[in-house]
Structure 1
Amino acid sequence: MLSAADTPRTLGGLLAAAADRWPGRTAVELQGTALDFATLHRQTERAAARLAAAGAGPGRTAVLLFDNTPDCVIAFLAAARTGVRLVPAEPGAAPAQLAALASGAADALLIGRAERLAAVAAADGWAGPVVETDGLPHADATDRPAPAEPDGDAPFLHQFSSGSTGEPKAAVHTQHNLVQGGLIYRASFGYGPEDTVLTAVPLLHSFGMVAGLVTSLLTGARLVLLGRFTPGRLLGELQRTGATVLVATPLACDLLARSAGASAPGGPLPLRLCLSSGAALHPDTADRFAERFGVRVSEVYGCTEAGIIACRRPEPDAVPGPDAAPAGADGVGRPVPGVELRLVDDADRDVAPGAEGLLLVRTPAMFLGYLDRPETTAEVLRDGWYRTGDLARLDAAGRLHLIGRKDTFVNVGGKKVNPVEVERVLLGHPLLAEAAVWGETLADGGQRVRATVVATGPLTAAELSAWCRERLQPHQVPGGVEFAAALPKTSSGKIRRAEVAAAAGAPGRTTDQGGTRS
């Protein structure tokens, strides 16, 4: 096993080292079609040469329509190999969203599957050059060499996150940040070349990218991509592949346990670890999963800016039964190796042990800052400490308990929805004067997007839903629309979101459920 000191600082370096140590071992697989590490390395080198010929390199920006396929894994690693600044995007992102992601980079490349690029072109939503992932890793007549290995400490990944203001921000990471994240996962969970890692989350987000792809490259683990999620498919892939590690969301864990309960697997599974992130893990889900698969779900707490921060894992000396700690008693777990925590008050003074405070984090996987937002970066990143925006406390055993946060984001099945973005789309409708978007908590503990609007003419929720579906992703579309004569505001004119949500369904307001629930 490579020590942290000997570990390459780039993703290309990780892949080259893996191809040297485990050339014939499966690196990535989708529905039975597999690439070994030597083949993945060779195809990535070819793809990097072709991307470089298309203009990818240091100082250039590329947007990757990143779906969970081997072609996109190759495109991602090839982009890293060129040193381009990369923006991972949802494969189904609307053209207007793609243009916003590449804001400030007029010559940005768009990389994606041919059929998706054709759809974007048909919508006249991209002015720059495009590169198809289809066939990207195959040799061509010119047989160009791969570019020189880039600087691992240079800005590489632009992952869009959002803070308490609700405005989208690109958190900038280096390749070395991602490698450090992989080292933390290896130290925390013992990934190794004997593992098969089945990921049921998007690789384009921090959790899937690091817990799935990067850590597998680092450790020689076999990475299995699920493709389109269904509980039955996930259960079938667990059986077929003999996965030892599952990377999933709480919703996927819940649906999987229910599905497995209805149709029992053909014998015990070798699953030793299930990592869950993206939303809070309900105790009932954890219990149901443990009962069905004999493995306690390890809840991961982290963020785009800092990566993994803490994890809730079974205590080695825990005794099951009536004397076990009540569900949720261990919070989100203890800090993972290499991560430091502080809790401070409003004056940035450390709080007393056990008291609540604002959570600050310091980690080797820390982002560089927000793209083109020096003031915002200075607010949240001070002396190497990142201000998460979460209120928390540490108990006497060193376990972290989250109290809450002040932002307004809606968590739909583990996907964070930015209310400001949805409001911007709603307000583009010619018959809307005002809009406030908020999250409704459902009976199962999940959330859906709701909107309260002020219309200037005859309008239905079905019409607004159709308007949004053309401009947003399905999980962002409001699942219910309420029409009001006016929205409550502060003296400075800002909408009082909490009052809007609390007043939903009050007399004098009309609620239309014609929206689409995702």
Structure 2
Amino acid sequence: MFTVNRERFSASDARVRLDAYGALEHFRSPEGRLYALCLSSPADVVTLVLFLRERGGSVLLLAADTPLETALASARQAGAYALVIGTPEQCQVLPGTPAAQEEPSLYSFSSGTTGGAKLIRRSWSAVAEEIAAYNEAIPADAGETPVVLASVTHSYGLLCGVLATLERGVSPVIVTNKNPKFALSVIRDTPKHLVYGVPTLFHMLTGFSQEGLRFHKLMTSGAPMPAPLFERLSGLADTLLQQYGCSEAGCISISPRMEAATDMGLPLRHWKLELDSREEAQPSELAVTGRAGRIATGDLGYIAPSGHIHLLSRIDDVINVSGLKVFPLEVEEVLLGMPGVAEAVVYRGRHPVMGEIVKARIVASGRVSADDVRDVCLQRLPAYKVPADIEFVTAIPKNPTGKISRKRLEMEDATQ
């Protein structure tokens, strides 16, 4: 049925787990109840999601390393009946009357990259519709095995990497070992692979990639891939794919063969796309309409001549420098193309006189100075887009999905 790291779980193994869940007191009547899952084992996450979905229960996914008090607070905020933490046997039924459940659903908290996280509900029927449309759109070859590096406590890894794969009758390989060399060994031992990851993971893999290892297919999501990474991976992989979505909508589009780092492909059949711009210089907000109604994504993009969606920035991330717009991604691409720059993020800073300015945090793997950065930027960007404030750091904070929250960095600066 699926493999976790190198441990295989067959269909009969999964059935044993499903039967065991039904024997536990807190799972005997799951219909109409919401369970917050904060589980150590990805095998438990997958099988318990399948169990609760089949029996009319709802699920709130929480990252495995969520502290107990935070997990309890999240479960209460969502109106959960119980928090299942660590293992399926460890359950805390929450006091009080849980919120009345609508149609059985999958719940999650948004990543909070533009502010506070909010609770998102997507019915299991909407999830089924997404999986069906996803499987129609993804170019899966016979004998191809998905290798899921993305977390199964988030929709990308769980729905696209695992549940959609199972729906196709294919057994995915889930990799939770944090050692990049281990992930590379699994990929190497799975020649016809489709690897699900995020740009930061692929960046790490290229640093450990073994000579002669060539990737079959790489699927990226979560954030637009930096152009230097796209160019590097293009020389290492037969096919680069990218999918785009948001917490409220799930997967919106897939690019089966990326034409650029910003290429998000074509929308899945169950979404009607709204994107007015056809010019990179004048992007507009992307919105989609489906059974959940109209969803404004908060992302800026345009339609390329190929018909593909190209994304440039979050609306909230655009920096207004004296009335001129700066998209952080275009500056980051210049920084990441510099020798000696391992990671970089560009975000909004505030100056008491000048107002909004361009700020950058950089992780350097070599000797790089602020003057070097400005010199290179001035060669490739207008002066107003050149970072006015450059900070060299040992690490850039990321959320559990590997995303960088520019809003979080702004808030950190504001409290200093």
What is the aligned partner in structure 2 of residue 314 from structure 1? 257
Cα deviation, residue 165, structure 1 = 7.2
Return the letter of the residue paired with 2:84.
I
Change (3 A) 1:404 1:206: same
Return the letter of the residue paired with 1:332.
M
Change (3 A) 1:393 1:67: farther
Q: For 2:191, which of 234, 242, 247 is the aligned residue?
A: 242
Q: For 1:358, which of 285, 288, 291 is the aligned residue?
A: 285
What is the aligned partner in structure 1 of residue 239 from structure 2? 296
What is the aligned partner in structure 1 of residue 211 from structure 2? 264
What is the aligned partner in structure 1 of residue 105 from structure 2? 156
Counterpart check, 1:278 vs 2:218: no
Cα deviation, residue 88, structure 1 = 0.7
Change (3 A) 1:68 1:187: farther
Cα deviation, residue 107, structure 1 = 6.6
1:400 and 1:312 mapped to 2: Cα distance? 9
Cα deviation, residue 341, structure 1 = 0.9
Cα deviation, residue 55, structure 1 = 4.9
Change (3 A) 1:31 1:102: closer
What is the aligned partner in structure 2 of residue 128 from structure 1? 94
Please state whether the residue corresponding to 1:204 is helix, strand or coil. Answer: coil
What is the aligned partner in structure 2 of residue 391 from structure 1? 300
Return the letter of the residue paired with 1:167.
G
1:476 and 1:115 mapped to 2: Cα distance? 29
Return the letter of the residue paired with 2:63.
E
Change (3 A) 1:112 1:285: same
Decide whether the 8 Å contact of 1:192 with 1:220 is kept in 2. no
Counterpart check, 1:224 vs 2:173: yes
Q: Could you report, residue by residue, the CA deviation over 1:37-86 in whole angstroms, capped at 9, with x for unpaired residues?
A: 3442x235304423565455222221111455323322221122222221
Q: Could you report, residue by residue, the CA deviation over 1:256-302 in whole angstroms, capped at 9, with x for unpaired residues?
A: 12211xx325xx66x5321111222112222222323x323212221
1:473 and 1:202 mapped to 2: Cα distance? 8
Matches within 5 A, 1:48-197: 48-51=21-24, 54-67=27-40, 69-103=42-76, 108-114=81-87, 128=94, 154-161=103-110, 166-191=115-140, 194-197=143-146
Decide whether the 8 Å contact of 1:93 with 1:473 is kept in 2. no
Return the letter of the residue paired with 1:69.
P
Return the letter of the residue paired with 2:5.
Q
Cα deviation, residue 357, structure 1 = 2.3
Count of aligned pairs between the two proteins: 339
Matches within 5 A, 1:16-35: 27-35=1-9
1:67 and 1:287 mapped to 2: Cα distance? 36
Q: Could you report, residue by residue, the CA deviation over 1:124-163 in whole angstroms, capped at 9, with x for unpaired residues?
A: xx6739xxxxxxxxxxxxxxxxxxxxxxx92311111167
Please state whether the residue corresponding to 1:34 is helix, strand or coil. Answer: strand
1:190 and 1:51 mapped to 2: Cα distance? 40
Q: Could you report, residue by residue, the CA deviation over 1:199-225 in whole angstroms, capped at 9, with x for unpaired residues?
A: 001011111011111111111112111
Decide whether the 8 Å contact of 1:164 with 1:406 is kept in 2. no
Change (3 A) 1:114 1:331: closer
Q: Could you report, residue by residue, the CA deviation over 1:317-361 in whole angstroms, capped at 9, with x for unpaired residues?
A: xxxxxxxx7x54x63333344432113xxxxxxx46545322111
Cα deviation, residue 28, structure 1 = 0.8
Decide whether the 8 Å contact of 1:68 with 1:202 is kept in 2. no
2:200 and 2:112 mapped to 1: Cα distance? 24
Change (3 A) 1:357 1:477: closer
Cα deviation, residue 233, structure 1 = 0.8
Cα deviation, residue 243, structure 1 = 4.8
2:401 and 2:235 mapped to 1: Cα distance? 33
Return the letter of the residue paired with 1:331.
D
Which consecutive residues of structure 1, in runs of 5 or more, have no partner in the other structure?
A: 1-26, 130-152, 316-324, 344-350, 369-383, 415-438, 446-471, 483-496, 505-509, 512-518
2:313 and 2:403 mapped to 1: Cα distance? 22
What is the aligned partner in structure 2 of residue 146 from structure 1? none
2:28 and 2:206 mapped to 1: Cα distance? 47
What is the aligned partner in structure 1 of residue 314 from structure 2? 405
1:215 and 1:474 mapped to 2: Cα distance? 19
Decide whether the 8 Å contact of 1:299 with 1:332 is kept in 2. yes
Say which structure is richer in strand.
2
Decide whether the 8 Å contact of 1:199 with 1:224 is kept in 2. yes
Cα deviation, residue 474, structure 1 = 12
Greater Rg over alpha carbons, structure: 1
2:277 and 2:78 mapped to 1: Cα distance? 47
2:208 and 2:80 mapped to 1: Cα distance? 47
Please state whether the residue corresponding to 1:284 is helix, strand or coil. Answer: helix
RMSD between superposed Cα atoms in Å: 4.1
Cα deviation, residue 87, structure 1 = 0.6
Change (3 A) 1:444 1:310: farther
Q: Could you report, residue by residue, the CA deviation over 1:378-426 in whole angstroms, capped at 9, with x for unpaired residues?
A: xxxxxx2211112222233322222422446999x99xxxxxxxxxxxx
Return the letter of the residue paired with 2:274.
R
1:113 and 1:92 mapped to 2: Cα distance? 9
Cα deviation, residue 34, structure 1 = 1.1
1:186 and 1:224 mapped to 2: Cα distance? 18
Return the letter of the residue paired with 1:307.
G
Decide whether the 8 Å contact of 1:164 with 1:389 is kept in 2. no
Q: TM-score, normalised by structure 2?
A: 0.69
Change (3 A) 1:441 1:76: farther
What is the aligned partner in structure 1 of residue 10 from structure 2? 36
Cα deviation, residue 311, structure 1 = 3.0
